[in-house]
Chain A
Amino acid sequence: MKIVIIDYGAGNIKSIQFAFKRLGYNAILSNNPEVIKTADKVIFPGVGEASSAMQMLKSSGLDILIPTLKQPVLGICLGMQLMCKSTEEGNTKGLNIFNVKVKRFNNTVKVPQMGWNTITDLKSKLFKGVKNQSFMYSVHSFYAESCIESIATTTYSLNYASALQKANFYGVQFHPEKSSSIGEQILKNFITL
């Protein structure tokens, strides 16, 4: 099993690598298109600001590569948001894999949403063995709107898509690598897709 974590300079990818290590897998960090193309599973992480992250993707040609991948790809947090049509953060155009826009939470709630919230309406093999209303850890100011590609829903002032799927592409807004044993179950499910 060759798991590749796309390393394009955005955020805390060590935690994801360690999470796989705890599951007994050695995940490789790479921004090399050949290495990414030949992976069995690809993780597309991201923490930070959308427009600068997209700039980093573009400078290594990964914005072209990622939408063409055929193996299971899991976007995490900003990675998931960048797979959407667009995001309000820095008015950034996304990779347009998921047909949904990313918007900012309004100020009726604290922004960023920081902490543990539940996921419901689970609709994918990604959540095998994961109970409805399980708690996942999230830190974010922007969210993907509920849409037909939603495979999990979370409520924070409104219902938003906390996970998305289209064909071989998966995205989660929360951090499975930081979400205790349930998060690890989701990563395990992704590996066995």
Chain B
Amino acid sequence: MLTKRIIPCLDIKNGRTVKGVNFVNLKDAGDPVELAKQYALKGADELVFLDISATLEGRKTMIDMVLKVAEHVNIPFTVGGGITSINDVDLLLKSGADKVSINSSAVKRPELINELANKFGSQCVVVAIDAKQINDDWIVHLAGGSVPTNLNLFDWAKEVEARGAGEILFTSMDNDGTKAGFANQALAKLSDTLNIPIIASGGAGTVQHFVETFKEGKADAALAASVFHFGEITIEELKVALKDNNIEVRF
């Protein structure tokens, strides 16, 4: 049986993890490779690295990091942030990334999704969508939720699938950072309308939230950052709880 996936997400700036990390036995909490190894050992199913470097220099450092992660970590990982071209993706995949995640660049030029899917295969193309609810409509936003577009979440998700995306990473800006649970209604609607896997993101605060997003939100995977980084929820306890709730997970 295909299991539900648990995905810690690491924000990377100039080759280092940002946001505090509260892990025991970690020599260097800012080192993404050390952190990734820990997560792989603890049973994370995949990892996502989000490059938030604003400079070209920072982006170059990202490639070095991808190479090191690929060298030392034996589970799949996705790299996102600032990807705008086939060349960017080519370099990341050649450096050992398994998938790439694109967001704004897909909204700005949707053909990029087709180009990447044709060249590298749908399986490595994740389209990240940030959306928030405005007057009962889910509206896609860019730049970390600050810039609204005229796209409706469900229409855009359908288009993204038709253009060849292999997976959707949906972050509810309304839920992100609240620790009050995932946007399960919208997630379930996405899952029912689309035939590609959906990763739930934004709102994880408790183990129960993960149970709910897999059951009510019908998510295929759930992504979170701070609850894992600060040790508020460990991957092990989370998986035990999911199993107790009859949700298939990998041990």
Contacts and interface: CB of A to CB of B under 8 A. Distances in A.
A46 to B, nearest CB: 10
Interface in A126-184: 135, 137, 139-141, 155-156, 175, 177-181, 183-184
Interface string B1-16: 1111100000000000
Contacts of B221: 115
Interface residues of A, number: 36
A111 B196 contact: yes
Contacts of A183: 74
Interface residues of B, number: 37
Interface in B156-213: 166-167, 195-197
A26 B97 CA distance: 20
B85 interface: no
Interface in B48-88: 67, 70-72, 74-76
B3 A135 contact: yes
30 contacts: A11-B120, A15-B96, A18-B70, A18-B71, A18-B96, A22-B71, A47-B120, A110-B220, A111-B195, A112-B197, A114-B166, A114-B197, A114-B220, A115-B3, A115-B4, A115-B221, A116-B250, A118-B1, A135-B3, A135-B250, A139-B98, A139-B166, A140-B123, A155-B1, A156-B2, A175-B76, A178-B74, A178-B75, A178-B98, A179-B74
For B97, B121, B167, B250, the residue with the greatest tally of chain A CB atoms inside 10 Å of its CB is: B121
Contacts, number: 101
Nearest to A49: B121
A107 B192 CA distance: 12
A153 B118 CA distance: 29
A115 B195 contact: no
Contact of B74 (A115, A156, A180): A180
Q: Is the interface of B mostly helix, strand, loop or mixed?
A: loop
Given A114-B167, A178-B74, A12 B98 contact: yes
Interface of A: 11-12, 14-15, 18-19, 21-22, 47-49, 107, 110-118, 135, 137, 139-141, 155-156, 175, 177-181, 183-184
A45 to B, nearest CB: 12
Nearest to A21: B71
B197 A110 contact: yes
Contact of A112 (B45, B46, B70, B196): B196
